[in-house]
Structure 1
Amino acid sequence: MTSPGLALFTGPVGAAMRTVPPLLSPAAPVAQAIEAMRAADESSVIVVDEAGRAVGILTERDVLRRVAFRLPADAPVSAAMSAPVRSVPQDERLYRAVGLMRAHGLRHLPVVDGKGRPLGMLRRFETYAAASARLLAAVETLARGDDEAGFAATRAAQAGLARTLLDEGLPAAEVIGVVSEINLDIHRWVVERALAVAGPPPVPFTLLVMGSAGRGESQLAPDQDNGLILQDYDDARHGEVDAWFIPFAEDLNRRLEAAGFPLCKGHVMARNPVWRKTLTQWKAQVTLWAERRSPVALLFGDIAFDFRPVWGDAQPAAALREHLKRTLAAHPVFLAALAAEDAKMTVGLSFWGGFRDDEPDRPGVRTDLKRSGLMPLVSATRLLALKHGVAETGTRARLAALAQLGPVSQAEAEGLAAAFERLAGALLRQQLDDVAAGRPPGTLVELPALPRAEQAAIRAAMKRVASFQKGVVSSFGGGVW
């Protein structure tokens, strides 16, 4: 069951705000403000200018501190209000708003539209009521600042947040989803900061994330897998477009690195022209991959096909997804080739059912739970999803969609989702232990050191994944092409 505090991290502020309190002009007398609060049974009024934009706030606390026995009833509300007023946009994540309220000791936080006009109000007591004290403390660590150093601090704080959510009883897969969403928020903020320096782009663009980020399955140490879809433009503008996007993409990837996302060693980033193209060029590239089936094409497809738009117009990504669906339907041999490659990622069990040692040079038995546990499941599920035109990118969402379509039974989908939860949970807890010990979060887990019941559950999960992977590969002709 989902923790009630999860909404603090994944939902927009609109889900928690109350209706907008009374709105008054700066010249309105404080007596009118007090009467408006009483009549509306509200604890605040928002002061707006002639354009309807919030310029101040007067709360019951302000009345006690600044009005009672100090100001005459006909004094303008501007003499008692708090200004400038802190506010948040309606699409802001609730965890950011809660962090802002805690960091600045705010009891009221107006929610505004794109022009700064009030839409509603967040009230501290009601907003906090959904979360435990530990969750609130974890939230506070996430609202660090609106620059790359602040974003990096947010990234670093995710381990504490993840540990708190696990301890609160949130399933590991849900915790990973929360971490992933926060990472995507950071990507969006970084784009905005890069645009503030670069100025308006010559053509609109969409930022894509790929790999684990595109699946919403980022663990605690994700690197960058991103690209840009540019709006199509005339060839005559090529020089102008490149002159803007080349430095922009370099700056974007540098800022993401400074925010805690290491550069991708495989150069799957917007700064690489392979991953920065117009929609027409992206479609042609996907078609070329499917036709040639080279090792590089298979590697790129394995990363890119989990793409997800995170900034800009989502329609180009939807158009690319539809083109991918048609292309793979016309080139089924490409999926067979992918199956042959994915079959090389074997589950980390020995012939006798013991855990495979993926680090034989060190004492003990350590199994790479990402490559030898999660990835065989992720890859096999992706293959089936691509074959059947499933648009979802997350592994659990893909399993649910496949169960609806019929290639996977409902019972099998539920069993595989449980296996994903078991393996992802063991990996996440290992990464949290790594962070607590001052080590970089890794993917190797000393499974024999776990309690016997946990070992048995992980072994059963890996066997289920191995059986599923074998069946999927066989359905593509055994991976022979």
Structure 2
Amino acid sequence: MKNTIAERILDFLKDFPPFNLLPKETLYEISKKIEIHYFEKDQIIFDQNDNPHEHFYMVYEGAVRLYRFGEDKKHVVDICDEGDLFGLRPLIMKENYLMGAAANEESILYGIPIQLFSDIILNYPKVSQFLIASFATNTRDPFTDKHKGKLFANIEAIRKVENSFIETQTAKYTQNPITCSPKTTVQFAAKVMTANVINSIVVTLDNIPIGIMTDKDIRTKIGTGLFKITDPVEAIMTSPVITFAENITVAEAQLARLKHKVSHLCITKDGTNKTELVGILAEHDLSLIQGNNPLLLTKQIRTAKDAETLKYIRTKASELTQGYIEQEIPIYFVTKVISEINTVITKRAIHLSIKEIGVEPPVAYTWLALGSQGRKEQLLMTDQDNALVFENISEEKYAETKKYFLELASKVTEKLNIVGFEYCPANIMASNPKWCLSVCEWKSQFKDWIKHPTSDKILNSIIFFDFEFIYGDTHLYDKMAKSVFKYIYKKPVFLGFLSKATLDNPAPLGFFKQFLVEEDGENKDHFDIKSRAIRPLVDAARIFSLHHQISVNNTIARYEKLMEVEPQNSDIFESCANAFKILLQFRTSQGLTNNDSGKFVDINILSKADRLKLKSCFKPIKNVQESLKLRFNISQIP
């Protein structure tokens, strides 16, 4: 007797990936096991951080919104409609839901059992490829240019599906695994495992893997009395082993473990069980790889008990940066990830410091990041630049209130220094009484800098006008930002002074088109990529953004916004954004290689291609500086 419901489900599934990649017979078996769920409008399907359900979902009718909680605010990330899949990744990756799902309208969903579906994943390579690509791009259909998915921080710049994220990295396995022969006794093999602090031993014959004995085998087969401890390991080993080649990805490893229900994979020369064993990939190895997942790092930061723990986590973030740079992940994406990690570290340092003081802040306040962290461009462990603003208070309470915030700032900056962000040489930190002020004082400071632009005040403007909210009361931050725009609007000539200061920076090339390098000191004959190339682009973006009252700090985002507000100059701004991406990636790569700030580059060791790549970034600098001269009448500035 025909199952008409299953046939209707099959008729729907066959038009959507990855089900359209399956033969009809297999699809029919899946259709018979699918559950049908009805949800009313706004009804929660699953919430962020919930444990994964036993099935994932496909929208049959209606629509589902996916959301994520940010700073006390719910953000709608995407809308799934007919034929869209969601809720699959947590089931495969063994993690809680990274976002929630709710019915956007009355909806009917198909619930597809993960256990049923997992059994066919590796039997159909195209389905496996679809899932791996989906994990890499976080889109629902990675094989079309018209997908609606924007499930990873809305970063559209990511294009390299094959190696962009952790799941598509080559898994790091344990080389030279401990082995034994089939006739070795369980007792002797267990002693070897104990001595080497491992939970498995590979059984080999002429170095060909034929089985594996794990702690579980010893518990379930020896501990229960089914076998004796003097029996050979071949009596209790799991056989045959599951093998893969050396270039297995994290996603492939997860899928293989899911399908075969094993905790270990054997790595052989050609990926079959007929060639020499070269390594073992255990569940623990995959957990370590996932440990450098930015989401897991931020979770660890939020529960860190001290600055030393934060330092350890930030070291892992540096490894993450290194991996992204090596994989040529778009730099805009890298800055977003690492900046978020730096922000969470600062927040945790503030929480720990307040707990250390033992008294909550007396009034509302805001912690501000300045400089590269304020622009969300601090990829390397450079020095810290920060400030603090607190609510306006009565004169009699001012001294006591400021004393509290200076103590708080001192503890926070000390913790950040332990983490690896060195103290600012110029003491531009919230622990300095000059930069720990009330809203009224900050406004007065900005007004004075803009009204009386001396060289020192212009320098402060360059540093402090990139202030960014990190933690505290957003209203205080908004008041400060509005005051800057208001004062500049009243005295636009100030932007001319800023432009002149920017143009006084040393040029990157000399008269004969050679790199201008340092003439003396410890960096003699090195090129200052920060001052001569990156800073001019940062300064120009800031000045044009202040002119248009664009309230974003990130240099790339500023240029992209400027392309919108000045379409007639979009070519210049686009070239500046591209040049900045190249320079920032180049500096970061240099810094990671040399374990320093990446500020100075030894031109002599660069390849000809790298030299040309650097020089190609200098024309946009020249063009945007010419625009500054014309726009703000630099010739009229004394």
TM-score normalised by length of structure 2: 0.54
1:230 pairs with one of 390, 404, 411: 390
Counterpart of 1:476 in structure 2 is 632
Structure 1: tracts of 5 or more residues without a match: 1-13, 23-39, 44-88, 93-105, 114-122
Q: How does 1:276-291 map to 2 (within 5 A)?
A: 276-291=436-451
SS of residue in 1 equivalent to 2:381: coil
Give the conservation status (yes or no) of the 8 Å contact 2:443–2:480: yes
Residue 592 (structure 2) pairs with residue 428 (structure 1): no
Whether contact under 8 Å (2:556, 2:581) holds in the other structure is: no
User: 1-side partners of 2:565 and 2:589: how far apart?
Assistant: 34
Between Structure 1 and Structure 2, which shows a larger proportion of helix residues? 1
- Counterpart secondary structure, 1:354: coil
> Corresponding residue for 1:447?
603
Matching of residue 366 in structure 1 with residue 526 in structure 2: yes
Q: 1:361 to 1:136 in 2, by over 3 A?
A: same
Q: Deviations over 1:406-436 (max 9, x none)?
A: 176222222111101111121111111102x
| Structure 1 residues 51-130: aligned runs within 5 Å | 91=70, 107=94, 109=96, 129-130=135-136
Q: Which residue in the other structure is 1:139 paired with? A: 293
* RMSD after superposition: 3.2
Matched, 1:341 2:497: no
1:169 aligns with 2:328: yes
Opposite residue 476 of structure 1, the aligned amino acid is: F
Counterpart of 1:156 in structure 2: which amino acid? T
Task: Give the equivalent residue in structure 1 for 2:312.
Answer: 153
Larger Rg computed on CA atoms: 2
Listed as ranges, the gaps of 5+ residues in structure 2 are 1-43, 57-67, 72-92, 101-113, 119-130, 137-165, 172-288
Aligned residue number for residue 511 of structure 2: 351
Q: Distance in 1 between matches of 2:576 and 2:559?
A: 8
Give the Cα–Cα distance (whole angstroms) in 2 for the partners of residues 18 and 297 of structure 1. 47
Preserved contact between residue 380 and residue 473 of structure 1 (Cα < 8 Å): no
Whole-Å Cα distance in 1 between the matches of residues 51 and 540 of structure 2?
Answer: 52
> Are the structure 2 counterparts of residues 164 and 150 from structure 1 closer, same or farther at C-alpha, using a change threshold of 3 Å?
same
State whether residues 227 and 275 of structure 1, in contact with CA within 8 Å, keep that contact through their aligned partners in structure 2. yes
**Pairs within 5 Å for 1:226-305:** 226-305=386-465
Per the TM alignment, residue 138 of structure 1 is displaced from its structure 2 partner at its CA by 3.1
SS in structure 2 opposite 1:208?
strand
Contact 2:402–2:437 (8 Å) recurs in 1: no
Q: Which residue in the other structure is 2:361 paired with?
A: 201
Residues in 2 aligned to 1:112 and 1:475: alpha-carbon distance in whole angstroms: 46
Match of 1:212 in 2: 372
**Contact conserved, 2:49 with 2:98, CA < 8 A, in 1?**
no
Q: Could you tell me which residue of structure 2 aligns to residue 221 of structure 1?
A: 381
Change (3 A) 1:417 1:21: closer
CA shift at 1:465, angstroms? 0.9
**Aligned residue type for 1:297:** K
Shift of 1:251: 1.5
AA at the equivalent of 1:164: G
1:460 match? 616
Cα deviation, 1:45-100, whole Å, max 9, x if unaligned, reads xxxxxxxxxxxxxxxxxxxxxxxxxxxxxxxxxxxxxxxxxxxx9659xxxxxxxx
How many residue pairs end up in the alignment? 378
Partner Cα distance (2:564, 2:510) in 1: 34
- SS at 2:389 equivalent: strand
Q: 2:566 maps to which residue?
A: 406
Amino acid at match of 1:343: L
CA shift in 2, pair 1:401/1:91, >3 Å: closer
Q: TM-score, normalised by structure 1?
A: 0.71
Structure 1 residues 446, 325: closer, same or farther in 2, change over 3 A?
same
The structure, 1 or 2, with the larger RCO (C-alpha pairs under 8 Å, 6+ apart) is: 1
Distance in 1 between residues matched to 2:538 and 2:337, nearest whole Å: 19
How many angstroms apart in 2 are the aligned matches of 1:175 and 1:110?
A: 23
Cα gap change, 1:454/1:239 in structure 2, threshold over 3 Å: closer, same or farther? closer
> Which is further off, 351-360 or 203-212?
351-360
Q: Structure 1 248/159 Cα, relative in aligned 2: closer, same or farther at 3 Å?
A: closer
Q: Deviations over 1:191-225 (max 9, x none)?
A: 11111122211101111111111111113132111
Structure 1 CA distance, aligned partners of 2:447 and 2:523?
47
Deviation at 1:309, TM superposition (A): 0.5
> Is the contact made by 1:347 and 1:465 (CA closer than 8 Å) also made in structure 2?
no
